[in-house]
Amino acid sequence: MSQKYKCCDTEFENLNDFKRHIRSRNWHRLNYSDLIRLKMKNETLYNIIRNPNILFALSNLITPIQDKGILYLPFTKQRTGLVLKRSIVGKLEGPKPDIDLIKYKFTSDNIVYELGFRVKKINEEYSELLILCSMNVNIGLLGRLLPSEVLKTLQKMVTPQIVVEKVSKNLSAMSV
């Protein structure tokens, strides 16, 4: 089975090329986007997207507290059998309108997430939503020395794909 590795808007054919790329810089970027159709009025969807408390409650990943956010990382099972939930506190900005996108940004020392939403009216009953997510992560010197550790770490992170899928799944559940 051949697996493709994606990072910083580039696809790598094999693990060695990917590892070479990982070593080449501290900051790496992952993107994911999806376009979904919802049985929801345009105004209702727009009101959800513009309200960080509702939006992030839906994502179940970030809890907004004033201008900050707490990002919860997936449960990790230790060898002792203990399940730990890790979290990162960061600055949470948004909603910021940017042309036809509504944007949010979560910034902490070594990880930055950017979210963008575009709401489009289909008819009185249905709307279309474009969800864009990017993650910039600083792997640091240790990551550059040990690229295979980066792979393991990334698997434990909340990737842009996870963010987009959670928002889309929970919005779809609401629209039934």
* Binding positions for Zn ion, rule: CB under 5 A: 7-8, 28
Q: Which is nearer to Zn ion, 28 or 113 (CB)?
A: 28
Q: Which is nearer to Zn ion, 19 or 68 (CB)?
A: 19
> At its nearest, how many Å lie between Zn ion and the CB of residue 5?
9
Rg of the Cα atoms in the chain: 18
Contact 168, 31 (CB under 8 A): no
Backbone angles phi, psi at 40, to 5 degrees: -155, 140
> At its nearest, how many Å lie between Zn ion and the CB of residue 7?
3
**Nearest Cα to 113, choosing from 152, 144, 158, 76?**
158
Whether a cis peptide bond, with omega within 30° of 0, leads into 160 is no
> At its nearest, how many Å lie between Zn ion and the CB of residue 144?
11
Q: Which is nearer to Zn ion, 44 or 138 (CB)?
A: 138
Q: Which is nearer to Zn ion, 130 or 154 (CB)?
A: 154
3-state secondary structure of 153: helix
Q: Which is nearer to Zn ion, 31 or 44 (CB)?
A: 31
**Nearest Cα to 7, choosing from 25, 77, 61?**
25
> At its nearest, how many Å lie between Zn ion and the CB of residue 12?
9
> At its nearest, how many Å lie between Zn ion and the CB of residue 92?
24
What's the Cα-to-Cα distance from 86 to each of 27, 74, 83, 102, rounded to whole Å? 21, 7, 10, 28
What's the CA gap between 28 and 8, in Å, rounded? 6
